[in-house]
Amino acid sequence: MHRSNPSQSDRSNGSAAGTPPTGPEGLAGADFLQLNPADAPAGGLADWLTDRLRAAISDGRLPLGTRLPATRVLAAELRISRGVVTEAYQRLTEDGHITARARAGTTVVAAPLTTTAPPEHRAGGAAAQHAGEVDGSRRTPTEGRGLRARRDGKGAVVEQPGLDVFDSLRAAPARIDLTPGVPDLAAFPRSAWLRAERTVLNDLESSAFGYGDPAGTPALRRAVANWLARNRGVAADPDDLIIVAGVSQAIGLVAQVLKDRGITEIAVEDPGSLGSRQHLQNWGLTTTPIPVDGDGLRVDLLRASGAGVVMATPAHHFPTGVVLEGERRRELIQWAADGGLILEDDYDAEHRYDRPPVPALRAMLTDQVIYAGSVSKLLAPSLRIGWMLPPPQHKDALIGMKRLADLGNAALPQLTLAQLMESGELERQLRFLRRRHRTRRDAMVDAVRNYLPTATVHGAAAGLHLTITFDDSSNDVELAAAALHKGVKTHPLSWHCQLPHAPGLVLGYAARTPTEITEAIAIIAEVR
């Protein structure tokens, strides 16, 4: 992350300012957690201190990003040996709850998770060594199904928006809509679409109007296989692809299959898409947050969580834009090889400006990745067309779920899209969009630099949105509400977080003109 500078990539230079962007600094010792060594059993000081710190991280008294006192300072305050503090910190580091960095000090990076029991299909392996080290009760599926997901424990609760939050936001009037997640809708290739549909209708057999294969029309499955091979490095047999009504349906189908197999938990990136999380929760899964840092998903913490399944955006993290770094990628692949299952949401992989293309994880890992993508960010969300490429062992169950959901996507739009893909029209559209989006991205970065100079910009190298964070304790929900009141629609970053995180906004730039974007950012600066 960097200060308003699009030319430096997202994940470089994370310590430019010398301090992590989040968290109260340097909690001093005296009152720190009201620790009293007199409470410790004889000869068990290190155990006691470790337990107390872990409990405080777990229940939210030490939120993510909190800097712990220096060992020297804490030891002095507690009047215990510095070695005891060092040992406690060391154990928590090994558990993945805190980390020590040269200049940033010792920082809380992950809360102990609410579950330790590995889901059924997960092999024991490395995860098992952490079993029993963390406590917390597992949410039952029905509890997770409520309107609001909350983290167990007292303090570390991030208020979660309700299920209809996107519908409400959509219904709200606004002059400039910076909602992330849509391409330039005005650029939808109406003529090309109609031409393609006429071509399809000219040649179509009547039987195509009848009930069809719930997995999709053969023509679109072939076209998507070719598209993935050309654009995402993924070699897919068309027979293995399932056409779905967008990635959100793919998530729902996977959730149902997991539940049928007794799996009730899925790890998710944090920050991570609120919409995806809501979907998973509403299908009855607990979403365990795994922190994402400047190198992407903390695979060590994923492993420590004991979760058997993770949903991730490795090629372009939502919403921070981080690309999963090479070593992390290898760790994640190893985690999957040890029995983990990855739901890869390749949500806007095609849109990039200042960085080399990143192949999908699925390109490297066929048996442990359920790959999902769509044309929502490429053409239009309202087409409701996406695809999934599951490993063989999940294919039939997922097709069964798709049949149950709607008997399969509508045929005519599938065939029209196939025509656009095979004719090269869709790639032309992508090139066109990329030029246009880039200009808009630049306008937004410039506007942020001018009007919000203290904001940090994340994820400007690719995608349809960027994220800005503020190095303070302001309330981003209130900020977004104030901006909306002035006619500018955005997402507060905290919507996309289950764990505490720096305040910020997620700002879509693809669908608005540079003038609108500049005006919108000025308004945000005004109400901030």
Binding site for a copy of itself (CB under 8 A): 163-164, 166-167, 170, 181-182, 185-186, 188, 190, 193-194, 197-198, 201, 204, 206-214, 245-246, 248-249, 252, 279, 282-283, 379-385, 400, 403-413, 511
Which tokens go with 493? 């970053």
Nearer to a copy of itself, 285 or 290 (CB): 285
Minimum CB separation of residue 260 from a copy of itself in Å reads 9
Q: Alpha-carbon distance 283 to 341, whole Å?
A: 18
Minimum CB separation of residue 279 from a copy of itself in Å reads 7
Nearer to a copy of itself, 384 or 440 (CB): 384
User: Across the beta sheet with 341-345, what order do the strands follow?
Assistant: 242-244, 386-389, 369-374, 341-345, 309-312, 265-270, 286-293, 296-297
Nearer to a copy of itself, 17 or 404 (CB): 404
Which tokens go with 40? 């410790």
Nearer to a copy of itself, 268 or 464 (CB): 464
Instruction: Please answer whether residues 436 and 249 qualify as being in contact, where contact means their C-beta atoms are separated by less than 8 angstroms.
Output: no
Cβ partners under 8 Å of residue 261, min gap 6:
120, 121
Nearer to a copy of itself, 25 or 396 (CB): 396
The pair phi, psi for residue 292, each rounded to 5°, is -115, 130
Q: Tell me, what DSSP letter sits at residue 507?
A: E
Minimum CB separation of residue 379 from a copy of itself in Å reads 8
- How would DSSP label each residue in 157-196? -PPPPPTTHHHHHHHS--SEE--SS---GGG--HHHHHHH
Instruction: Please answer whether residues 175 and 429 qualify as being in contact, where contact means their C-beta atoms are separated by less than 8 angstroms.
Output: no
Minimum CB separation of residue 376 from a copy of itself in Å reads 8
Residue 75, classed as helix, strand or coil, is: helix
Nearer to a copy of itself, 79 or 190 (CB): 190
The residue with tokens 């503090």 is 85
Rg of the chain, C-alpha, whole Å: 24
Nearer to a copy of itself, 127 or 383 (CB): 383
Minimum CB separation of residue 278 from a copy of itself in Å reads 9
Minimum CB separation of residue 405 from a copy of itself in Å reads 6
Instruction: Please answer whether residues 54 and 304 qualify as being in contact, where contact means their C-beta atoms are separated by less than 8 angstroms.
Output: no
- How would DSSP label each residue in 431-478? HHHHHHHHHHHHHHHHHHHHH-TTPEEE-TTBSSEEEEE-SS---HHH
Instruction: Please answer whether residues 127 and 145 qualify as being in contact, where contact means their C-beta atoms are separated by less than 8 angstroms.
Output: no
**Helices and strands (DSSP H and E) totals, the chain:** 16, 16
Minimum CB separation of residue 190 from a copy of itself in Å reads 5
The pair phi, psi for residue 195, each rounded to 5°, is -60, -45
Nearer to a copy of itself, 281 or 518 (CB): 281
Minimum CB separation of residue 276 from a copy of itself in Å reads 12
Nearer to a copy of itself, 120 or 396 (CB): 396
Q: Alpha-carbon distance 411 to 213, whole Å?
A: 9
Minimum CB separation of residue 162 from a copy of itself in Å reads 11
Nearer to a copy of itself, 198 or 431 (CB): 198
Q: Crossing angle for the helix pair 190-203 and 425-451, nearest 10 degrees?
A: 160
Minimum CB separation of residue 191 from a copy of itself in Å reads 8
Residue 292, classed as helix, strand or coil, is: strand
H or E segment to which residue 85 belongs: helix 82-95
Minimum CB separation of residue 210 from a copy of itself in Å reads 5
Nearer to a copy of itself, 250 or 324 (CB): 250
Residue 98, classed as helix, strand or coil, is: strand
Minimum CB separation of residue 203 from a copy of itself in Å reads 11
Nearer to a copy of itself, 180 or 340 (CB): 180
